[in-house]
Amino acid sequence: QHDVHIIGGGLAGCEAAWQLANRGIKVKISEMRGGGKMTAAHQSDGLAELVCSNSFRSDDDENNAVGLLHHEMRLLNSIIMTCADEAKVPAGSALAVDREIFSDLVEKAMNNHDNIHVVRECVETLPNNGITIISTGPLTDDGLAHQIIEKTGSENLAFFDAIAPIVHFDSVNMDIAWFQSRWDKGDGKDYINCPMDEEEYLIFHQGLMDGEKTTFKQWEENTPYFEGCMPIEVMASRGLDTLRFGPMKPVGLTNPATGKRAHAVVQLRQDNKQGSLWNMVGFQTKLKHGAQVELFRKIPGLENAEFARLGGLHRNSFIRSPILLDRHLRLKSAPHIRFAGQITGCEGYVESSAIGLICGIFTAADILGADIIPPNNMTSLGALLCHITGDAEADSYQPMNVNFGLFTPLTEKVHKKQRKLAMTSRAKEQFDIWRQNLAI
């Protein structure tokens, strides 16, 4: 007998189970690995397996949004952070782990908890009733994925294979770039435009051709590109001017500095409500991260660009959370179902675990009859949660790491060098207030 059924024993599912079980709630975790199924990226049957790198990224809670998220999760007794700290290996200011020790520790914690029951089985259908958390990750098994599509509408589960980089607005040089929509549509200034003359374009095109690309994993080889999100370097390889008739077309745009049309234009589209993050339109790419930074900083206006996320390509299933989920991660059309982890459209081990954690707390609150106001977006957990559950633009919604661009901007004037510290100090105060009011 269980009170909550968690589908998927990855990072988010285990963290949600832990938060529920510690509040006296009985949980069943269904994990398909070890039950005759495997994903294309996992290597073992272990719960909470890290599929790629062994890094939880920066552990600096004063200058880094993900380090701050570590801090907030530790305060909430996160099992993922406890096991990561125990399995830690030297990695400078980053938190990296021995992946086998880490997964073993999480698995032991789940198996040894009286309120958690792990069953090795693949869930093929969405439950019609009973409190359920879906935390099946970016490689959700096909049967369940199709059920999710049926429930949410096919356009709302992206089988996503390419992502474009995202730039912090305050790193764009607006003396060179300008606001304008093509043909002045909409309110006339929905995009940021970065102009290129012919010479700059030719050098940039060559850079795309020459830049080092990541190689396909064997399981990715058969994944077709969707025409709509073809990597920019693949498009560039089709002809010198293909990009100038595609994402870099200069028509309908006038550079205010010259009063003329540029030879080519790179457009950035607003990516969050605050306007602090901007997406490079059509710039999904398989260039290696280092090559992306080097090449994209050659774009006029982006010489000092700071990237909230770089481009990449891999299979990734996620729902359009900003329109499908309420602020407590419940599916609006079937509130007995919650989503957690990467399938909600957050990106990364830490973020997936954090969303599992808060999902566990929300679910426990429902069962125990407690009222919970989500943490506000001056905190790291709150900023990530708000992004997923409503602040992000639903139409261009793409997986996102936590970063300061998601936070409420500082109201007081702070010197640039002190801004991150001011953000994290404010976050810590706000998080403590939220935690003190947490009734469960």
The rounded distance, in Å, linking the Cα atoms of 125 and 424 is: 42
Number of residues located near ligand FAD, criterion CB under 6 A: 34
Q: Counting contacts by CB under 6 A, is residue 9 touching ligand FAD?
A: yes
* Residue among 19 and 39 whose Cβ is closer to ligand FAD: 39
**From residue 71 to residue 110, what is the string marking binding to ligand FAD with x (rule CB under 6 A)?**
----------------------------------------
Selected range binding ligand FAD among 47-55, 108-116, 232-240, 242-250, rule: CB under 6 A:
47-55
Residue among 84, 37, 96 nearest 357 (CA): 84
Residue of the chain from 6, 18, 103, 137 that contacts ligand FAD (CB under 6 A): 137
Residue of the chain from 195, 250, 311, 348 that contacts ligand FAD (CB under 6 A): 348
Label residue 34 exposed, middle or buried (CB < 10 Å: 0-12, 13-18, 19+): middle
Q: Counting contacts by CB under 6 A, is residue 300 touching ligand FAD?
A: no
* Residue among 319 and 364 whose Cβ is closer to ligand FAD: 319
Q: Counting contacts by CB under 6 A, is residue 141 touching ligand FAD?
A: yes
* Residue among 76 and 196 whose Cβ is closer to ligand FAD: 76
Closest contact distance (angstroms) between CB of 94 and ligand FAD is 11
* Residue among 99 and 420 whose Cβ is closer to ligand FAD: 99
* Residue among 11 and 384 whose Cβ is closer to ligand FAD: 11
Question: Measured at CB, which residue is nearest to ligand FAD?
Answer: 10
Record the tokens describing residue 154, joined without a space.
């096919």
Selected range binding ligand FAD among 39-47, 87-95, 149-157, 203-211, rule: CB under 6 A:
39-47
Residue of the chain from 32, 83, 105, 265 that contacts ligand FAD (CB under 6 A): 32
Q: Counting contacts by CB under 6 A, is residue 61 touching ligand FAD?
A: no
Closest contact distance (angstroms) between CB of 102 and ligand FAD is 12
Write out the residues near ligand FAD by the rule CB under 6 A: 7-13, 30-33, 39, 41-42, 51-53, 122-123, 135-141, 144, 314, 341-343, 348-349, 352
